[in-house]
Amino acid sequence: MEILSFISVFGFPAAVIILVIVKRGKYKNKSNAGAFFFENNSLVLNTGIPYPIPFDQIDHVELHYSSWEVEHKLSYGLTVKVIKKNGKKKRVFYKGFKTARLALPSDMEAALTERGIRCVMADR
C-alpha cells in the first residue's frame, strides 16, 4: 500500500521531468539559444518542452518588448508570437538576457529575416 501511495505522489512529477528531458534531448541547438532557435527547417520555441514550427507554416513572427528595458537593464521581458498561415497563433514569454546567442530583439529579427520569415517588432 505504501508503494502505491508513493507512486501516486511522485509518479506524475517524475514522468513530467522525464518527458522534458527526453523532448529537450532531441535538439542540439537549445543551450543558450534564447527565446527560439532554428533546427531541421523549423523555428523551435525554446520553452520547457521545445515547440517546433516548420518554416513553411509560419506567416510571420511578432516580437513584443520594451526598448527601455533592452537598453537599460541586463534582462528584459519579451513575448514571441508566431502567427501561422492557417491563422493559429502560438505565444511564449521569455526573460531575455544579453548573453544568449540571439540576445537582442534586433538579432532575432535579423535571424528570422535571413530565413525568409517576416518579423514584426513591437515596442511596448
Q: Which CATH number covers residue 99? A: 2.30.29.30
- What would the pLDDT profile of 22-42 be if each residue is shown by its tens digit? 776 777 766 667 889 999 899
The answer to whether residue 51 sits within a structural domain is yes
1 has a pLDDT exceeding 70: no
**Are the C-beta atoms of 36 and 44 separated by less than 8 Å?**
yes
DSSP 74: S
Number of domains observed in the structure of the chain = 1
The answer to whether residue 22 sits within a structural domain is no
Beta bridge pairs of residue 63: 80, 121
The answer to whether residue 71 sits within a structural domain is yes
Entry pTM? 0.80
The answer to whether residue 24 sits within a structural domain is no
What pLDDT score was predicted for residue 30?
65
Burial class (CB in 10 A: 0-12, 13-18, 19+), 68: exposed
Find the mean pLDDT for residues 72-94: 94
Cα 10 from Cα 59, distance rounded (Å): 42
Beta bridge pairs of residue 118: 60
| Region for 41 from its dihedrals, namely left if φ exceeds 0, alpha if ψ lies in -120 to 50, beta otherwise | left
- Provide the residue range defining the domain that includes 52: 29-123
What pLDDT score was predicted for residue 31?
64
What pLDDT score was predicted for residue 117?
97
The answer to whether residue 7 sits within a structural domain is no
